[in-house]
Chains A and B, each alone.
Chain A
Amino acid sequence: MNQDTLLSIKDLTVHYVLHSGTNKAINNISLDIRRGETFGLVGETGAGKTTIALSILRLLPVPPSKVLGGSILFGGEDLFKISEKKMKTIRGNKISMIFQDPMTALNPIDKVGDQIAEGIMLHQNVDKREAREKACEILEMVGIPRERYDEYPHQFSGGMKQRIIIAIAMVCRPELIIADEPTTALDVTIQAQVLDMINNIKNELGTSMLLITHDLGVVAEMCERMAVIYAGEIVECGTVDQVFDDTLHPYTKGLFGSLPRLTGDKVKLEPILGMMPDPANLPEGCKFADRCPARTERCRRELPELREMESEHMVRCHLADLKEPEGEG
C-alpha cells in the first residue's frame, strides 16, 4: 500500500437480505483515497454510493445488511476486523461523516452546541467547559455566532443546520471526511456557500475527503480523482481531468451527454434511455448492457474487468479496447 494512501477499499461486497429478495447493493468495489485529496464518487440514486459510505464506518443497519467479502484498510488495519470498541474511537474522530439530509440529522431536543461538544468529549480528554469553548470556536469557523450555542435545531435554517453538521464532523480534526451528498437537500444558492466552506476547512486541516454526489459540476470543482459507480460496481475511475476529457465508459459519456449547457450551440438534451437494473435482479455480464448504445453479445454474457487504460485511468468495458483513449469531450 502506497505511503500516500489513507484508506483502501478492496473488493467490497455488501448485500441487503430482505423478505422480498436480496438487494445486491455493491459488488467488488475497490478504491483508494490518498492523503489530502478529495475523491469524488458519482452515481445515480440507488447505485450504491451511500452503502459504500456507511460500510467504511460500519454503520450499515445490521439485520438486513451483510458484508459478503472485502476489506477496508485504514491506518494499517482492516476496519472490518477491529472490535466495535476500537471502531467507536475512529468514528467521529479519525473518520467522520456528513449526511445528506440536514433537516433530520440533528437531535431535535439537544442544543446544537452540545451536539458538537458531544464529539469533543468522546474523543478528547477535556472537561465540559473546555469542550464548550472548542465547540464555540468551531461554530464561528462555520459562520455561526457562538451565542447560538444554546439554541435548538428547529431554530436554524437548512443551510445553517448543514453547517452545524459540518462542524460536528470536523471538530476532532479527522483524517478522512465522508460527505454523502452534502448539498443535495439545500437551495442552489446555499450549495455554493456550503461547498466553499467544506473546501476551506478541508484545506486548512489537510483532511482527505470522499465526496459522494450525483452532480458532475461539483466533482469538477472540488475533486482531484473520481470514480463512477453504476448498479453497485465501479465502471470508470481516474483523475478528474482524465474522466472528463477522455471519457471511456458509455455510461459516463451518457452522463455528460445529458448535462444541459449554458453556453455554445443549443443542443438537445440526450438522456440515457432505460433505467438502472433492479438490484435484486442484476443481469449477468455488464450491468449497463441493456442501455448501452454500443453493446455486443459479449457484453451481455461476460462481466468486464476493471482495466487500466492509461496510468490511473481504469474502465470496466469490453469495448473501451477498441477506441482511442481520446474521445469526444
Chain B
Amino acid sequence: MADFGSEREVTMARFITNRILSMIPVLLGVSLLIFVLLELAPGDAAQTILGDYAEPERVEALREDMGLNDPLLVQYFRFLRDMVLEGDLGTSYSTNRPVLETIMERYPMTIQVSVLGVILTAILGVATGLVSAVKQYSWLDNLATVIGMVGVSAPTFFTGLLLIFVFAQRLGILPASGSYGPEYFILPIITISFSSCASQMRMTRSSMLEVMRQDYVRTARAKGQHEHKIILHHELRNAMVPIITIMGTQAGVLLGGAIIVEQIFSIPGVGKLLIDSINARDYPMVRGGVLFIALSFSVVNLLVDIMYTAVDPRIRSQFGAKRKKKVKALSGNGGDVL
C-alpha cells in the first residue's frame, strides 16, 4: 500500500481496487437506508399481495411465512444474505417474478438514455462553455449565459412537456412517447440533458475564466505559443478538474432525471419501474430499483475519480478521494438538483 507522503505514484490498478472496495460499505449503507425507509412506509406487504379483501388470518399467515414478523435487523440480514450469496433481490409483490429479472430487462433502456444524455452534456456543455469563456463579453457569451440560466432553472419535467408540446404536438415531427426506434430517444435525451448541459456550460466557463488568469498561461504566451494551443493545451486541461467534478454531479442528476423522463415519455426503464412500484407498494421492487440506481451512480463517481487521476498528476500523488471532496465543497454547487 503506497504511503501518503511519498512521491511515488499510486498505480492505477491499486487505485481502482481501492475505490471499488470503498464502494461496498456505501452501497451497504444505501441498502440499509432503503430497507429502513420502506419499513416505515405505509402499507403491509402481505396485504398487498393477497389483495384488500383477503381474510385477516390468511394475511397473518403469509406474514409469518414471509418472515415479516421478525425483528428488523434479522430481516435485513436475511435480505443481505440473499442478495450477496444468491444474487436474489427478492420477489415482486405485484408480479411474483424475481426482482432482479425485471430490473435487468429494463436496465438497458435507462442506461441508453442516461449515457447518451451524459455524452451530449459533456460535449455540448464543455464546448459552449469554452467558447463562452474565450469570447468573454461577446454577444455569444451573453446569449449563452442567458440560455444557461434558463437551462439551469427549468425543471426536467417542464422541459419535457414543453418539448413534447412544440415538437410532437404542434410540429408533429418527433414522437411523444414510447421507445420503438432511435427517433423516440431524441426528445427524451434533449430533455434529460438540457439542464445538465447548462450547468456544465456554466462550470466550464467559470473554470476556464479562472484558469485564464493564471501565471502559467502568461508563461506559455511569453514562449510565443500559438493561441489555439494555449486554449486547448494549457487552459482547458487545467480547467478540467472542476469540470469533471461537475460532470460527476450532473451524471447523478441525469440518473435522477432519467426517472422523470421515463415517466413523461413512457420509456420502459428502471425509473418508470420505480415509480410504478412505489404506487403499487411493491417494496422489493422499490428496493431493487433504488439499489440499482445507487449502484450506477457509484460507478459513475468511480469513473469520474479515474478521470481525475488521468488529468491531474497532482491528484495521482495524493489519492483521489480527499481532493475530490475539497473540490466539491469549493465548487459551491448547492443549487442544481434536478
Task: Write the residues of chain A forming the contact surface with B, with a CB cutoff of 8 angstroms.
Answer: 57, 59, 87-93, 96-97, 99, 101, 104-110, 118-119, 122-123, 152, 154-155, 165, 168
Contacts and interface: CB of A to CB of B under 8 A. Distances in A.
Contacts of B222: 57, 59, 91-92, 96-97, 99
A107 B220 contact: yes
30 contacts: A57-B222, A59-B221, A87-B224, A88-B224, A90-B224, A91-B222, A91-B224, A92-B223, A92-B225, A99-B215, A104-B215, A105-B215, A105-B218, A105-B219, A106-B216, A107-B216, A107-B219, A108-B312, A108-B313, A109-B238, A109-B312, A109-B313, A110-B234, A118-B220, A119-B224, A122-B224, A122-B225, A152-B314, A154-B314, A154-B317
A91 B221 contact: yes
Given A152-B314, A168-B219, 19 more contacts: A59-B221, A87-B224, A89-B224, A91-B224, A92-B222, A92-B223, A92-B224, A92-B225, A99-B218, A99-B222, A104-B216, A107-B234, A109-B311, A118-B223, A118-B225, A154-B313, A154-B314, A155-B7, A165-B219
B214 interface: yes
Nearest to B314: A154
Contacts of A109: 237-238, 311-314
A105 B224 contact: no
B228 interface: no
B49 to A, nearest CB: 58
A155 B215 CA distance: 18
Interface in B272-290: none
A101 B223 contact: no
B142 to A, nearest CB: 16
Q: Dominant SS at the B interface?
A: helix
B226 interface: yes
A110 B233 CA distance: 9
A123 B224 CA distance: 8
Contacts of B317: 154
Contacts of A118: 220, 223, 225
B323 to A, nearest CB: 13
Interface of B: 7, 214-216, 218-226, 234, 237-238, 311-314, 317
A165 B220 CA distance: 11
Nearest to B215: A104
A115 to B, nearest CB: 8
Contacts of B224: 87-93, 119, 122-123
Nearest to A100: B215
B31 to A, nearest CB: 38
The 4 closest A-B pairs by CB, nearest first: A92-B223, A91-B224, A104-B215, A92-B224
A108 B221 CA distance: 16
B117 to A, nearest CB: 28
Given A109-B237, A109-B238, A155-B7, A122 B313 contact: no
Between B7, B223, B237, the greatest number of chain A beta carbons within 10 A of the residue's beta carbon is seen for B223
A110 B214 CA distance: 15
A247 B135 CA distance: 50
A122 B223 contact: yes
Contacts of A99: 215, 218-219, 222
Contacts of A104: 214-216
Nearest to B213: A61
Nearest to A84: B227
Between A97, A109, A152, A165, the greatest number of chain B beta carbons within 10 A of the residue's beta carbon is seen for A109
Contacts of A123: 224
A154 B312 CA distance: 11
B99 to A, nearest CB: 45
Nearest to B216: A107
A168 B222 CA distance: 10
Nearest to A120: B223
Contacts of A97: 222
B263 to A, nearest CB: 42
B223 A108 contact: no
A88 B222 CA distance: 8
A185 to B, nearest CB: 11
B309 to A, nearest CB: 11
Between B7, B224, B226, B311, the greatest number of chain A beta carbons within 10 A of the residue's beta carbon is seen for B224
Contacts of A152: 313-314
Between B215, B234, B312, the greatest number of chain A beta carbons within 10 A of the residue's beta carbon is seen for B215
A152 B8 CA distance: 12
B245 to A, nearest CB: 16
A91 B223 contact: yes
A104 B238 CA distance: 13
Contacts of A106: 216, 219
A88 to B, nearest CB: 4
A101 B214 CA distance: 11
A87 B224 CA distance: 8
Contacts of A101: 215
Nearest to B137: A63
Contacts of A155: 7
B167 to A, nearest CB: 41
A108 B313 CA distance: 8
B105 to A, nearest CB: 44
Nearest to A85: B226
Contact of A105 (B216, B226, B234, B237): B216
